[in-house]
């Protein structure tokens, strides 16, 4: 067993993670479904990869790279062994700029290769073997085995067809055997061509370089055609095999008219066509035909060719084809036919037989229920949801679901699913933003109140005593003054105003003190009745109470909450016009909350004042009447009960009846 066989399979194609932009084009283009998406990154699974290089060709970001063997080749050259380069017949398509191919041969020699020969002679030998199959009545129909990616595809994914593969080595291996026969069995052989699957095709070949790598080596050596003297390929020279790399190349090389074959030859090339042909062959629809299959559209379109970004792929294809044809026509004109026949004769004794193995890599199909579950998770519940849009890289939603189950794909690859998820995220984000904004507003309000609380506590404390003295002395002076003394009125005014100051100061102290809640179980109905009875309102103002309370028990601070309701009722009363109005109280409850609505038919609150309402000292009432502390105190008490206070108001008669409704929601169990 060679080292190649016992070491785990070396990765032929890898992803440069930073470059992968998750377009799933490689997933779509991979005929082997050997690309796995993990965390949004495309990775090639070495065991499943057939080396076709489609992913390398289609990746617009150049994120897929193949294993380079430049160092290995340099080592071979440096080791003192004789090393031969065998150049694939597609070279005129790659090196179109070097008109005289002998200059290219010399450049390759300059790199350190002892011999430079053409694979096309190997193709001539291989074609001879195919000719035998195609013209035979006895032999069963065969699938061509010269494309290593096709061979692997059949070994892995259509193992039942392995016996149909033509048991003939590829032109590369044939040429390697020719070279060793001619130049010695110790000769090291390096293949140079357009294919990356060749790197893993056969242990007989020491290394395989793509044209891209060859160009890299040439530029490392700074070699230019003008610097070398042209030399010809080393013998044996190839013949018609030089046409091998274009479509129908095998048939052209065989060089006999198709109608003398025992069966038709179906030529299929490119990712979809070769798969289709294999499927039909396996199903028995075309089982009597021979298949000439190529993974790329001719080897001239192989992934190891240099990209020509300035030409479209179609024009590239025909231009390349023309380059190869020109070379072949010229070659056949110049060729020493006699020598070729001698060589052909000499090397036709080489054994070109080979065998292939079944290496079944097919995956079991998951059960329908499992597939359905995955589809449901992506929001696909029926045929109408199966868009089969292909954005994920799979042909259908079902194929995608199967790949997810097999661990090859992710849900997020589904574009409609991901878009919907993003929409949901945006909605959620908007809601959180709104919540955040209202939390910020509440915070600002309570900070303001806390600041006010501290300030007012200080001022109130300082003012209370002097005010007491002013009240006391103005009263004493008033009492001492004669009843008709005009100063009596002035003193009365002083006492009255000082009393008013005391009231404000009292309110401030109250405001500052409201930072502790004395929770007790209370009856909300009783609390409301008590509050109503504590306010004195003019006769033309009616209060109606509607209690829909199912469970009146609630934990709260009775005194503080009484203050809340009496203040609200007072405000409502003060907002009423001369002719009076109605204050309607409606109470309801749930298991967790009690809601109190206090609605009045008063003047309403002007829109411009809505956001000032809970600010301390904001009042619209004349001096002597309002302090602007009622609502801030209410707000503080409700918040300390973990409750909510809000209001709705209309002050514009043209919009309907004016009035204000305050709503308070209190948690039933308070802070327990």
Interface with Mg ion by CB under 5 A: which residues? 571, 630
- Say how far apart CA 327 and CA 242 lie, in whole Å: 8
> Which of 627, 640, 641, 666 is the binder for ligand ADP (CB under 6 A)?
627
Q: Is 598 helix (H, G, I), strand (E, B) or coil?
A: strand
Does 566 bind ligand ADP (CB under 6 A)? Our answer is no
Chosen residue from 571, 640, 666, 670 binding ligand ADP by CB under 6 A: 571
What residues from 47 to 76 belong to the interface with ligand ADP (CB under 6 A)? none
Is the CB of residue 89 less than 8 Å from the CB of residue 122?
A: no
Token pair, residue 134, equals 């195609």
**Number of C-alpha atoms within 13 angstroms, CB side, residue 316?**
17
Q: Which of 584, 588, 620, 663 binds ligand ADP (CB under 6 A)?
A: 620
Instruction: Count the residues of the shown chain that bind ligand ADP, applying the rule CB under 6 A.
Output: 20
Question: Is residue 575 near ligand ADP by the rule CB under 6 A?
Answer: yes
CB of 629 to ligand ADP, least distance (A): 6
3-state DSSP call for residue 645? Answer: strand
Tell me the three state secondary structure of residue 133.
helix
Whichever of 291 and 631 has its CB closer to Mg ion, that residue is 631
Nearer to ligand ADP, 52 or 651 (CB): 651
Tokens of 413: 């690859």
- When CB distances are held under 5 to 8 angstroms depending on the partner's kind, the choice from Mg ion, ligand ADP, none that residue 106 binds is none
Residue 600 binds: one of Mg ion, ligand ADP, none (C-beta under 5 to 8 A by kind): ligand ADP
Q: Is 531 in the site for ligand ADP (CB under 6 A)?
A: no
* 588-590-595-596 Cα dihedral, nearest 10 degrees: 30
For 612, what's the count of Cα atoms within 13 Å in the CB-facing half-sphere? 10
How far apart are alpha carbons 625 and 634 in whole angstroms? 18
If you ran DSSP here, which 8-state letter would residue 453 be given? H
Residue 543 Cβ vs ligand ADP, minimum distance, rounded to whole Å: 13
Output DSSP code: residue 189.
Answer: E
Smallest gap from residue 567 Cβ to ligand ADP (A) = 6
- Regarding 475 and contact with ligand ADP (CB under 6 A), the answer is no
Instruction: Kindly tell me which residue out of 660, 664, 665, 666 binds ligand ADP, with binding defined by CB under 6 A.
Output: 660
Residue nearest ligand ADP (C-beta atom): 630
605 binds, among ligand ADP, Mg ion, none (CB under 5 to 8 A by kind): ligand ADP
Query: Whose CA is closest to 241, among 253, 233, 252?
Result: 253
| Shortest Å, Cβ 657 to ligand ADP | 13
Residue with structure tokens 């003019």?
538
Interacting span for ligand ADP (CB under 6 A) from 116-124, 425-433, 554-562, 629-637: 629-637
Least distance between ligand ADP and beta carbon 667 (Å): 24
Q: 49 vs 572, which CB is nearer to ligand ADP?
A: 572
Closer residue to ligand ADP in complex, CB, 29/600: 600
CA separation (Å) from 399 to 366, 389, 405, 421?
A: 11, 12, 10, 21
- Asked if 66 and 303 count as a contact pair (C-beta separation under 8 A), the reply is yes
Quick one: 173 or 564, whose CB is closer to ligand ADP?
564
Instruction: Find the part of the chain contacting ligand ADP (CB under 6 A) among 218-226, 227-235, 391-399, 597-605.
Output: 597-605
Among 159, 225, 366, 628, binds ligand ADP (CB under 6 A): 628
658 is a site residue for ligand ADP (CB under 6 A): no
Place of tokens 């993990």: 38
Site for ligand ADP (CB under 6 A): which residue of 324, 554, 613, 640? 613
Rounded Cα distance, 148 and 133, in Å: 20
- Pick between residue 117 and residue 564 the one whose CB is nearest to Mg ion: 564
- With CA atoms as reference, report the closest residue to 664 among 574, 604, 585: 585
The residue assigned the tokens 């089982």 is 287
Looking at beta carbons only, is 81 or 619 nearer to ligand ADP? 619
219-243 per-residue burial string, b: 16 or more CB within 10 A, e: under 16: eeeebebeebeeeebbbbbbbbbbb
| Residue count of the chain | 672
State which residue, 112 or 626, has the beta carbon closest to Mg ion: 626
Output the smallest distance, CB 420 to Mg ion, in A. Answer: 51
* Nearest residue to 56 (alpha-carbon basis) of 26, 35, 34: 26
- Work out whether 631 is an interface residue with ligand ADP (CB under 6 A): yes
For residues 296 and 572, which CB has a smaller minimum distance to ligand ADP in the complex?
572
- Nearest approach in angstroms of CB 438 to ligand ADP is 21
* 575 interacts with, out of Mg ion, ligand ADP, none, CB within 5 to 8 A per kind: ligand ADP
Name the residue among 32, 54, 12 with its Cα closest to residue 363. Answer: 32
Beta carbons within 8 Å of 455's beta carbon, 6+ residues apart: none
Residue for token pair 């129909």:
141
Whether the CB-CB separation of 292 and 250 falls below 8 Å is answered with yes
Binding residues for ligand ADP restricted to 273-312, rule: CB under 6 A: none
Nearest approach, Cβ of residue 630 and Mg ion (Å): 3
Nearer to ligand ADP, 90 or 660 (CB): 660
Shortest distance, position 567 Cβ to Mg ion, whole Å: 6
Where do we find the tokens 């109905």? 525
99: helix, coil or strand?
coil
Q: Are 631 and 670 in contact (CB under 8 A)?
A: no
Residue 308 interface partner, choices ligand ADP, Mg ion, none, CB cut-off 5-8 Å depending on type: none
* C-alpha–C-alpha distance, residues 499 and 221, integer Å: 105
Residue 321's SS3 state is helix
Q: Which residues contact 353 (CB under 8 A, 6 or more apart)?
A: 167, 168, 169
620's contact among ligand ADP, Mg ion, none, with CB below 5 to 8 A by partner kind, is ligand ADP
398 vs 574 by CB, closer to ligand ADP = 574
Q: Tell me which stretch binds ligand ADP (CB under 6 A): 172-180, 194-202, 447-455, 595-603.
A: 595-603
Paired tokens of 671: 């802070």
Distances (CA, A) of 321 to 91, 104, 175, 243: 11, 19, 23, 9
Residue 588 found at the interface with ligand ADP (CB under 6 A): no
* Residue 660 binding target from Mg ion, ligand ADP, none, CB below 5 to 8 Å by type: ligand ADP
Specify the stretch interacting with ligand ADP by CB under 6 A; choose among 149-157, 218-226, 262-270, 600-608: 600-608
Say if residue 343 is preceded by a cis peptide, omega within 30 of 0. no
Rule CB under 6 A: is residue 581 a binding residue for ligand ADP? no
Residue found under tokens 């509050």: 531
128 binds ligand ADP (CB under 6 A): no
Closest approach, Cβ 462 to ligand ADP, in A, equals 22
For residue 563, the minimal CB distance to ligand ADP (Å) is 11
- Beta-sheet strands, E only, within 398-440: none
The least CB distance from residue 658 to Mg ion, in Å, is: 18
Residue sitting closest to Mg ion (CB) = 630
- Interface residues with ligand ADP (CB under 6 A)? 571-572, 575, 600, 602-605, 613, 618-621, 626-631, 660
């Amino acid at each position: 067993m060679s080292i190649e066989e016992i070491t785990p399979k070396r990765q032929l194609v890898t992803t440069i993670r930073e470059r992968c932009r998750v377009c799933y084009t490689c997933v779509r283009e991979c005929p082997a479904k050997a690309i796995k998406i993990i965390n949004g990154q495309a990775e090639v699974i070495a065991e499943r990869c057939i080396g076709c290089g489609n992913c390398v060709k289609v990746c617009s970001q150049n994120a897929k790279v193949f294993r380079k063997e430049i160092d290995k080749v340099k080592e071979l050259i440096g080791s003192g062994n004789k090393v031969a380069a065998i150049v694939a017949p597609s070279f005129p398509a790659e090196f179109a700029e070097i008109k005289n191919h002998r200059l290219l041969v010399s450049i390759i020699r300059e790199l350190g290769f002892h011999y430079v020969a053409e694979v096309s002679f190997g193709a001539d030998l291989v074609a001879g073997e195919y000719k035998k199959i195609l013209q035979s009545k006895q032999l069963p129909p065969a699938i061509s085995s010269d494309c290593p990616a096709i061979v692997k595809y059949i070994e892995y994914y259509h193992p039942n067809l392995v016996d149909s593969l033509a048991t003939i080595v590829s032109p590369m291996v044939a040429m390697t055997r020719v070279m060793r026969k001619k130049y010695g069995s110790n000769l090291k052989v390096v293949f140079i061509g357009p294919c990356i699957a060749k790197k893993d095709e056969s242990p007989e070949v020491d290394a395989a370089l793509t044209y891209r790598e060859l160009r890299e080596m040439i530029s490392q050596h700074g070699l230019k055609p003008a610097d070398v003297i042209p030399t010809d390929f080393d013998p044996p020279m190839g013949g018609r095999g030089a046409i091998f790399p274009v479509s129908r190349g095998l048939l052209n090389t065989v060089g006999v008219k198709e109608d003398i074959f025992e069966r038709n030859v179906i030529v299929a090339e490119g990712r979809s066509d070769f798969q289709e042909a294999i499927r039909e062959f396996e199903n028995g629809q075309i089982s009597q035909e021979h298949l000439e299959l190529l993974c790329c559209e001719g080897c001239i379109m192989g992934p190891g060719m240099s990209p020509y970004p300035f030409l479209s792929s179609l024009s590239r294809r025909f231009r390349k084809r023309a380059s190869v044809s020109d070379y072949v026509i010229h070659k056949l004109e110049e060729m020493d036919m006699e020598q070729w026949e001698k060589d052909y004769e000499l090397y036709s004794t080489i054994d070109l037989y080979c065998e292939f193995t079944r290496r079944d890599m097919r995956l079991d199909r998951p059960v329908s229920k499992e597939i359905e579950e995955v589809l449901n998770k992506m929001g696909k519940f029926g045929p109408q949801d199966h868009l089969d849009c292909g954005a994920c890289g799979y042909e259908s939603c079902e194929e995608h679901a199967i790949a997810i189950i097999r661990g090859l794909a992710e849900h997020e690859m589904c574009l409609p699913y991901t878009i919907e998820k993003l929409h949901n995220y945006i909605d959620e984000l908007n809601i959180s933003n709104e919540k955040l904004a209202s939390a910020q507003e509440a915070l600002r309000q309570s900070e303001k109140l806390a600041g006010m609380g501290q300030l007012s506590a200080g001022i109130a404390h300082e003012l209370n005593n002097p005010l007491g003295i002013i009240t006391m002395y103005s009263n004493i002076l008033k009492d001492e003054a004669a009843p008709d003394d005009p100063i009596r009125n002035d003193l009365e005014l002083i006492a009255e105003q000082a009393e008013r100051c005391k009231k404000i100061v009292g309110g401030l102290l109250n405001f500052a003190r409201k930072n502790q809640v004395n929770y007790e179980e209370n009856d909300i109905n009783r609390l409301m009745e008590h509050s109503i009875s504590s306010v004195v309102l003019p006769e033309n103002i009616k209060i109606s109470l509607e209690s829909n309370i199912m469970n009146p028990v609630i934990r709260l601070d009775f005194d503080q909450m009484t203050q809340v309701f009496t203040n609200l009722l007072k405000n409502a009363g003060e907002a009423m016009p001369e002719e009076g109005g109605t204050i309607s109280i409606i109470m309801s409850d749930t298991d967790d909350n009690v809601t109190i609505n206090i609605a009045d038919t008063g003047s309403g609150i002007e829109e411009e004042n809505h956001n000032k309402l809970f600010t301390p000292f904001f009042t619209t009432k004349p001096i002597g009447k309002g302090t602007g502390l009622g609502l801030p105190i209410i707000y503080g008490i409700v918040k300390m009960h973990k409750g909510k206070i809000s209001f709705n108001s209309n002050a514009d008669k043209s919009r309907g009846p004016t009035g204000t409704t305050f709503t308070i929601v209190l948690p039933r169990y308070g802070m327990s």
